[in-house]
């Protein structure tokens, strides 16, 4: 009998995680636009929401931009830390492939650095409280709350260091790469302290809720990561221990009497 070739089956390809994320972002953006449009009176021109949203008619445009960039960079740093804690814990393995997890983790770090740079550069052109380049780059030289602004600068440098190691992993080795990546937690704590104590929006209930909720998530994932690491180490030690050979029974010697 001749060998029968298997007929190709038409399998539907599942959507990639990037497509799901992009679709969710577009859906949320469309929802926000619809909500804003529904709140406008009929006589208000279409350019009014744009002027309100982007502060086009305000003299504090730079101040609004730097505040928005600061909050955005904080959220991105938080997402990067959460993603970094989720990768070794394998929380997202059921939904997202490993290669995408590493690439997305790197993308979040780069995006966070971009928004931090925007947050800093805009302050150079702020008319209310302009900063010099030295005050931005050197910690604790800020005219406004120097301690907390300086902590934020140190956190930014740590984020830079961690992100650079993505491209030096083959040279520095995986062990050094992991040790340096532990600094991302210190960077996140610095960003949190900077935002909470130096941010002008920290008194708002929504911003306080943002800081509290994101911080609790990081605490939970950190504890989960530490506990799972301890359990895995204990399991490896148990497997590595040699199994003791069973003791041989000692034969009883009986003396016969005659």
Rounded CA-CA distance 90/81 in Å is 14
Q: Are 124 and 142 in contact (CB under 8 A)?
A: no
- Helices and strands, number each (H, E), in the chain: 10, 0
Would you give per-residue pLDDT tens digits along the chain (258 residues)?
Answer: 444 444 444 444 445 555 555 565 566 556 555 655 555 555 455 556 556 555 555 557 788 888 889 999 999 999 999 988 887 777 666 666 666 777 888 899 999 999 999 999 988 887 778 889 999 999 999 999 999 999 999 999 999 999 999 899 889 998 898 889 999 999 999 999 999 999 888 888 989 999 999 999 999 999 988 888 888 877 777 776 655 555 555 555 544 444
Q: Where are the alpha helices (DSSP H) in 39-97?
A: 47-54, 61-89
Angle at alpha carbon of residue 29, lines to 114 and 122, rounded to 5°: 30
pLDDT given for residue 148 in this prediction:
95
Burial of 5 (0-12, 13-18, 19+ CB in 10 A): exposed
Rounded CA-CA distance 81/94 in Å is 20
- Domain ranges, ordered by start, for the chain: 59-233
pLDDT given for residue 87 in this prediction:
79
Q: Are 49 and 36 in contact (CB under 8 A)?
A: yes
Rounded CA-CA distance 44/34 in Å is 15
Rounded CA-CA distance 177/168 in Å is 8
In this structure, the dihedral spanned by the alpha carbons of residues 207, 209, 215 and 216, taken in order and rounded to 10 degrees, is -170
Burial of 242 (0-12, 13-18, 19+ CB in 10 A): exposed
pLDDT given for residue 10 in this prediction:
45
Angle at alpha carbon of residue 239, lines to 233 and 243, rounded to 5°: 140
């Amino acid at each position: 009998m001749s060998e029968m070739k298997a007929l190709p089956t038409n399998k539907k390809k599942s959507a990639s995680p990037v497509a799901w994320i992009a679709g969710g972002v577009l859906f949320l953006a469309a929802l926000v636009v619809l909500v804003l449009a529904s709140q406008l009176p009929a006589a208000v021109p279409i350019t009014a929401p744009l002027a309100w949203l982007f502060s086009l008619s305000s003299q504090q445009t730079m101040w609004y931009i730097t505040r928005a960039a600061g909050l955005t960079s904080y959220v991105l740093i938080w997402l990067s830390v959460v993603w970094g804690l989720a990768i070794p814990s394998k929380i997202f393995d059921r939904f997202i492939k490993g290669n995408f997890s590493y690439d997305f983790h790197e993308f979040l770090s780069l995006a966070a650095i971009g928004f931090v740079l925007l947050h800093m550069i805009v302050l150079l052109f702020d008319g209310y409280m302009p900063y010099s380049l030295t005050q931005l780059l050197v910690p604790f030289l800020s005219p406004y709350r120097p301690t907390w602004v300086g902590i934020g600068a140190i956190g930014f440098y740590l984020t830079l260091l961690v992100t650079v190691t993505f491209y030096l992993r083959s040279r520095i080795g995986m062990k050094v790469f992991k040790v340096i990546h532990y600094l991302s937690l210190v960077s996140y704590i610095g960003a949190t302290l900077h935002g909470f104590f130096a941010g002008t929006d920290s008194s708002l209930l929504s911003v306080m809720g943002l800081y509290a909720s994101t911080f609790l998530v990081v605490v939970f994932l950190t504890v989960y990561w530490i506990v799972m690491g301890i359990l895995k180490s204990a399991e490896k030690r148990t497997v590595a221990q040699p199994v003791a050979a069973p003791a041989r029974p000692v034969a009883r010697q009986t003396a016969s009497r005659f």
